[in-house]
Amino acid sequence: MEIGGINLVVLVASLMVAAVPILLAAIGELVVERSGVLNLGVEGMMIIGAIGGFIAAVTTGSPVLGFLGGALAGAALSAVFALLTLVFLANQVATGLALTLFGLGVSSLAGQGYNGIKPPHTGDVPLGPLADLPVLGPILFAHDWVVYFSIAMVAATWWVLKATRIGLVLRAVGESHEAAHALGYKVNRIRLLAILFGGAMAGMGGAYISLVRVPQWVDGITAGAGWIALAIVVFASWKPWRALIGAYLFGGISQLQLNLQAAGSVIPVEYLSMAPYLVTILVLVIMSSGRGRAGLNAPAALGQNFHASR
């Protein structure tokens, strides 16, 4: 399984890990956008989750509580967004951007004194002899629990959106909040829950960076992962499984370009670095060329505030 000096099994196994933060954040944002809310504060919620999770894990000594802390911190920040956009009807784009800047600042403040500390270790799930299987072992059975959790969340989100009443209501709110309101659904309450879910998922994604990927706290640790997650939602045309593919593609190509360099590839670095973005543009062009806007599948009420008095 060696191609050009790169071990494919190792590559696939490491891209699955590399993609976890953006996958979690993208799934959260996907649900938020499906409910008709555009929250551009993913980066801010991720970094708040990264420091929140780090502090929780270091103080309690438990990585699981760390992830919980990260989710809570992300959800708390998203509650600010919900207050501003749902109650005070602030512009969603501006509020989301402000949320990112606010999150970066607050995380830096909260992180004072946490530099250079090692968080408790998150181990691989012990799956016994399964992990020793050739090829499949390292790819499928030698990861920490968050990797499995992220995939399970994709499946759960897909199922809920597609096959349950909750999913139908959520999509109705995102497509036409006026109609959903006329039918008696609490538009803002549903959106609030979606926003909190999105915040929690972004927070967990951030916590994965500070607790597993990098294991430490430094200012600005997420370094733009939230923006990639936002791009993946569009790339996935708001469909959960496509978000998984998108996240793995991004994670995979960023891993591959470093691996190719390490393996002494002749392809110039610059082409490899731009590859993920080129693929995104290509996919967007292909998708939107066929069936027009419907092909893109964007929720019709995306980015519009709702007030019952209208």
Partner 1 sequence: MKRRNLLAGAAMGMALAMAGGAFAQGMDKVKACFIYVGPIGDGGWTFQHHQGTLAVQEAFGDKVETQYQESVPEGADAERVLTQMALGGCNIIFATSFGYMDQVNAIAAKFPDVKFEHATGFKRDSANVSTYNARFYEGRAVEGLIAGRMTKSNKIGYIASFPIPEVIMGINAYYLAAKKVNPDVEVTVVWAFTWFDPAKEADAAKALIDQGIDFIASHTDSTAPLAEAAKTNGAVLGFGQASDMAEYKPSPRVTSIIDNWGPYYIKRVGALLDGTYEQVDAWEGIAGGEVLIGEITEAVPAEVKAEAEAMRDAIAAGTFHPFTGPINKQDGSAWLAEGQTAPDGDLLGMGFYVEGVKGDIPQ
* 132, 261, 277, 281: which one binds partner 1 (CB under 8 A): 261
Per-residue contact string for residues 10-49; x = within reach of partner 1 by CB under 8 A: xx--x---x--x----------------------------
Report, in Å, the least distance between residue 221 CB and partner 1. 5
Contact between 244 and 235 (Cβ < 8 Å): no
Three-state SS at 7? strand
CA pair distance 304, 120, nearest whole angstrom: 42
Report, in Å, the least distance between residue 225 CB and partner 1. 7
CA pair distance 290, 310, nearest whole angstrom: 35
Q: Which residues pair with 3 in a beta bridge?
A: 6
* 264, 290, 294, 310: which one binds partner 1 (CB under 8 A): 264
Which is closer to partner 1, CB of 35 or CB of 254? 254
CA pair distance 170, 180, nearest whole angstrom: 9
Which is closer to partner 1, CB of 109 or CB of 294? 109
Four-point Cα dihedral 155, 156, 161, 165, nearest 10: 140
Per-residue contact string for residues 201-220; x = within reach of partner 1 by CB under 8 A: --------x---xxxx-xxx
Could you say which residues in the range 218-237 bind partner 1, by CB under 8 A? 218-225
Spatial CA neighbour of 49 closest among 200, 192, 151? 200
Question: What DSSP string runs through 154-223?
Answer: HHHHHHHHHHSHHHHHHHHHHH-HHHHHHTT--HHHHHHHHHHHHHHHHHHHHHHIIIIIS-S--TTTTT
Which is closer to partner 1, CB of 6 or CB of 296? 6
Stretch that binds partner 1, among 8-16, 74-82, 126-134, 195-203 (CB under 8 A): 8-16
Question: Burial, 100: exposed, middle or buried (Cβ in 10 Å; 0-12, 13-18, 19+)?
Answer: buried
CA pair distance 271, 279, nearest whole angstrom: 12
Which is closer to partner 1, CB of 92 or CB of 254? 254
Stretch that binds partner 1, among 88-96, 114-122, 141-149, 296-304 (CB under 8 A): 114-122
Sign of CA dihedral 52, 57, 59, 62: positive
* 95, 254, 280, 305: which one binds partner 1 (CB under 8 A): 254
Per-residue contact string for residues 116-145; x = within reach of partner 1 by CB under 8 A: xxx---------------------------
Which residues of the chain form contacts with partner 1 (CB under 8 A)?
5-7, 10-11, 14, 18, 21, 108, 111-112, 115-118, 209, 213-216, 218-225, 254-255, 258-259, 261-264, 268-270, 273
